[in-house]
Amino acid sequence: MSKLQTSVSLRLAILGGMVLLFIIPLVMIGSLIEERSAARNEAVIEVGEKWGTEQKLVGPILMVPYNVRIPKSGSTKEKDKWDYITDYAYFLPEDLDSVVDMKTELRKRSIYEIPLYTSKVKVTGKFSPIQSSDFPIDTTYIYWDDARLIVSVSDLKGLGGEMKLFWSGKDKKFLPGTRSSYLPSGLNAPVFITEAGNSIPFEIQMDVKGSETFSVIPVGKKSKLVMSSDWKDPSFNGNLLPKDRSIHENGFSAVWESSYFARSYPQVIHSMDDSILNSILNSGYGVSLVIPVDHYLKMERSVKYGLLFIVTSFALFFLMEVFGGVLLHPIQYILIGSAMVLFYILNLSFSEHFGFLPAYILSSSAVTGLIGYYAISVLKNKRKGLITALYYLGLYSFLYVILASEEQALLLGSLALFSVLAAVMHFTRKVDWYQFGLKKEG
């Protein structure tokens, strides 16, 4: 008998080396999943560039230019000690109520589906009266006649249909651009305001097209967003979760409410800068249209268990050797491990066409049947082959439970590992490893 057949240490070392070699195809499969996921993201971007990308609605904001004097450095003459510059003050609305009615559709690009939406947006509210005291103390002139109402939309290609603005009860027209260097993407409308006037009501109506995500920035002192849609799988995101929400077979509805106490920027911004702008843009909330089964994410998670599953499979067959009196060749272990690696490729390719669950059932059934059929021959025992098939059926069933229960994945995984180790220790507690293989010499 060769040393390979009689030496437990050598056989375990060879099995350990083969397990480590299987890291290479598992890493390659992980790269393949990332590549396919990137291709899907490219398809989303490609469709979004023509339809409309993720949309973020900011405004309306009232922008008023003014002159302010600042000390001139190095001046010694009294009349020349000031410089005069033009800056812009941004006034945020007192009340801001947004109503969004979103209609969705799925567009196909190659084998990928991309969720698109068209949202009818109605924004109402009012601005508080504006006074000279709202401007910096060194203000020398206020351009009341050049006030602009600006609305920022992240992707202007998504603006379509009729856009209406009612300012203090009067019909106004939007113009392209915002005239703001900080919020350049959007619309503006020249509006009439007077110092210490009354509160100014407004109403805006527009259609906004986009893909995957829609969010609103709550710039009002009191802000409210009411959103309804026919999409059945929303993911609410942003700085604040909805106060009320309802998800049903025909779609969802959600209500957000917030006040300026929950943000870090004021109602009147004398001079915009990048820090304030980032605070504004990061305070939004809205919804993402989630594809119900993101098979790429589940595939990435499943591959992380690949090496562990190969180890437990090799341990199973090694125990079959110990208790069954049959010695397996390393090539047979390689074929079994290759079948388990092939499961991920089958699952990935099938899931892109049929969805994750049907693909998972089909792939795991195929691999379970193949290994069970192979085990009947190599173990020379039909009963042990069936036991092996049942083991893989339980293994892949358990993997699916872990993938479906993301929050309990660590708990379930650790309990399973403990159970497997306990079972191995129990069944091998009386094995004399020093005599393994030598009994066949008699």
Residues 141 and 233 in one domain: yes
Q: Cα–Cα distance between 330 and 337 in angstroms, integer? A: 11
Grade residue 78 by pLDDT with cuts at 50, 70 and 90: low
Residues 353 and 273 in one domain: no
Grade residue 293 by pLDDT with cuts at 50, 70 and 90: very low
Domain containing 85 — which CATH number?
A: 2.60.40
Predicted confidence (pLDDT) at residue 118 exceeds the cutoff of 50: yes
Proportion of the chain above pLDDT 90, given as a percent: 0
Q: Domain range spanning residue 377?
A: 3-39+296-441
The tally of domains found in the chain comes to 2
**Of 261, 291, 321, which closes a domain?**
291
Q: Cα–Cα distance between 284 and 98 in angstroms, integer? A: 13
Q: What is the pLDDT of residue 312?
A: 77
Residues with Cβ < 8 Å from 216, sequence gap 6 or more?
56, 57, 98, 100, 225, 256, 284, 285, 286
Average pLDDT over residues 258-278: 83
Residue 48 has what DSSP assignment? H
Residues 250 and 162 in one domain: yes
Grade residue 427 by pLDDT with cuts at 50, 70 and 90: low
Q: Cα–Cα distance between 231 and 211 in angstroms, integer? A: 12
Residue type, 269: I
In a domain, 392, yes or no: yes
Average pLDDT over residues 104-120: 77
What's the whole-model pTM score? 0.64
Average pLDDT over residues 341-353: 80
Q: What is the pLDDT of residue 1?
A: 47
Q: Are 216 and 225 in contact (CB under 8 A)?
A: yes
In a domain, 46, yes or no: no
CA 110 to chain centre: 22
Residues 209 and 178 in one domain: yes
Worst-scoring range by mean pLDDT, 42-51, 246-255, 351-360? Answer: 42-51
In a domain, 48, yes or no: no
Residues 18 and 86 in one domain: no
Residues 259 and 115 in one domain: yes
Average pLDDT over residues 329-353: 81
Q: Give the ranges where 183-329 is alpha helix by DSSP (H).
A: 274-281, 295-303, 306-324
